[in-house]
Structure 1
Amino acid sequence: MKETMEQWFAELEKSEAEAVKMTEKQSKILQAAIEVFAEKGFAAASTNEIAQRAGVAEGTIFRHYKTKKDLLLSIVAPVMTKLIAPFVLRDFNKVLDVDYDRYELFLRAVIANRIEFLRNHMNVFKILIQEIPFHPELQEQFRKNILSKVLERMNLIVDKFKSRGQLMEIPNLTVIRLTMSAIIGYVITRAYNENREDAGWDDEFEREETISFIIRGLSIK
């Protein structure tokens, strides 16, 4: 996570869209906010704990951000817009740019890609999952900067496999929803169970069943 954060901050420094350069204290507050929001969620997080973890006085936070909600929206939301979205899309484009012969091969590549992404970005993922449902501002940022771009690329891929006779003639959005729901369910469950000895998790079995489930449901009979 440390390496990833350093990459994000380096890109933020270079961003032409960023009118005001981050101070060292703001960078520390940002890192601490992401960690605390990921660990405890927005509701349970306190600005005092964020300040302690950042090594600054709590008053320093309130000199920049009037409330805890303002901290979330003024720091985390821009980070998602300028940094997380490019990282998500750049990483995912490694899969989307390849011309796979079969939908099954595409699914395998997506799963492997998302597992690696989640392994490296778990803190940020937790914030997105925990906070987006409760903050309309973050929902709009997510739709505009991530979801719309992914759907645009996925539409082209679904059209390609339909033209090859590999997928049912149902709406593209339905194909994407069913595909991604199954994949996300598998990847998230895997992330929480792969290192637990008592989970009884058979990763190869679960992955193959997930792929088979999608193919059986969407293939032309």
Structure 2
Amino acid sequence: MSEPIEEWLDELNKLGEEKSMTDKQLKIVKAASEIFAEKGFAGSSTSEIAQRAGVAEGTIFRHYKTKKELLVSIVAPVMAKLVAPFVMREFYKVLDSRYDSYDQMLRAILENRLAFLEKHLNVLKIFIQEIPFHPELQEQFEKLILAKVFEKVTPNILRFQEEGTLVNWSPYTIIRLTVSSLIGYAAIRMIYGKREGSSWNDEKEREATIAFIMKGLAP
């Protein structure tokens, strides 16, 4: 499923920015989003972005001093405006619900986040590819997402530990190990699972991932 870039750009442009993006900026950000998702940040060039946007290369640098500033202008608003609070608001409904078991909670989280992943695939590909290499993006990710998820998930983990269904490790460790496994599943699903002719069995792989997590975190 291709991600509707125009949809999130339009949403972003309506979210109370001090100055909305001009038509040329929208074209530049849209073209950059597509090319960054296709080739990665390092493999993209401003000349290629300008060509796809239908503007002169100099126009890009009138709006963005560097290619990295253009990258941050794409990813940072996605986190600040679409993830928090809009996307996280939907996620909070999942995290604030009461579950009978940790694996039940994991299934609810996967169902909620995979729907978002499919809708915003191209923008999230940029996010996943580039965040390990840019401290500015890591800082925003930790502040806007990780801290909020940790706050919401910790009470559930402590309750499951009291019930004797989760190992008595720190909530941080449990969340880290869980997130690593879930992101690994989602990344392979995104890269390989949607490929034509793939033998990927999504339900089987999802259940295997959850079983792997639960066995690893068993007391």
TM over 0.5: yes
Instruction: Return the alpha-carbon distance in structure 1 between the equivalents of residues 63 and 169 of structure 2.
Output: 50
Structure-2 change in CA distance of 1:51 and 1:91 (3 Å): farther
Worse-matched range after superposition: 167-176 or 148-157: 148-157
Tell me by how many angstroms 1:143 deviates. 1.3
Contact 1:4 1:120 in 2 (8 A): no
Instruction: Return the alpha-carbon distance in structure 2 between the equivalents of residues 162 and 199 of structure 1.
Output: 39
Structure-2 change in CA distance of 1:28 and 1:4 (3 Å): closer
Match of residue 203 from structure 2: 204
Tell me by how many angstroms 1:165 deviates. 2.7
Contact 1:35 1:123 in 2 (8 A): yes
Tell me by how many angstroms 1:198 deviates. 4.8
Please give the secondary structure, in 2, of the residue aligned with 1:44: coil
Q: Structure 1: which amino acid aligns with 2:11?
A: A
User: How many correspondences in the alignment?
Assistant: 218
Match of residue 42 from structure 2: 43
Match of residue 134 from structure 2: 135
Tell me by how many angstroms 1:172 deviates. 0.5
Contact 2:37 2:122 in 1 (8 A): yes
Tell me by how many angstroms 1:87 deviates. 4.1
Q: Structure 1: which amino acid aligns with 2:89?
A: R
Contact 2:15 2:81 in 1 (8 A): no
Structure-2 change in CA distance of 1:50 and 1:87 (3 Å): farther
Structure-2 change in CA distance of 1:8 and 1:166 (3 Å): farther
Tell me by how many angstroms 1:12 deviates. 3.5
Contact 2:50 2:60 in 1 (8 A): yes
Match of residue 6 from structure 1: 7
Instruction: Return the alpha-carbon distance in structure 2 between the equivalents of residues 75 and 105 of structure 1.
Output: 34
TM-score by length of 1: 0.87
Tell me by how many angstroms 1:3 deviates. 4.2
TM-score by length of 2: 0.88
Structure-2 change in CA distance of 1:176 and 1:69 (3 Å): same
Instruction: Return the alpha-carbon distance in structure 2 between the equivalents of residues 180 and 159 of structure 1.
Output: 17
Contact 1:34 1:76 in 2 (8 A): no
Instruction: Return the alpha-carbon distance in structure 1 between the equivalents of residues 110 and 18 of structure 2.
Output: 37
Instruction: Tell me if 1:217 matches 2:216.
Output: yes
**Structure 2 spans left out of the alignment, 5+ residues:** none
Tell me by how many angstroms 1:81 deviates. 2.1
Q: Structure 2: which amino acid aligns with 1:184?
A: I
Q: Structure 2: which amino acid aligns with 1:115?
A: L
Match of residue 29 from structure 2: 30
Structure-2 change in CA distance of 1:10 and 1:192 (3 Å): closer
**Structure 1 spans left out of the alignment, 5+ residues:** none
Match of residue 156 from structure 1: 155
Contact 1:13 1:22 in 2 (8 A): no
Identify which of structures 1 and 2 has the higher relative contact order when contacts are C-alpha pairs closer than 8 Å and 6+ apart.
2
Instruction: Return the alpha-carbon distance in structure 1 between the equivalents of residues 205 and 218 of structure 2.
Output: 20
Instruction: Return the alpha-carbon distance in structure 1 between the equivalents of residues 185 and 25 of structure 2.
Output: 36
Q: Structure 2: which amino acid aligns with 1:125?
A: L
Tell me by how many angstroms 1:5 deviates. 3.9
Instruction: Return the alpha-carbon distance in structure 1 between the equivalents of residues 156 and 162 of structure 2.
Output: 10
Contact 2:3 2:121 in 1 (8 A): no
Please give the secondary structure, in 2, of the residue aligned with 1:33: helix
1:172-203 Cα distance to aligned partner (Å, 9 max, x none): 11111121222221222122222335543233
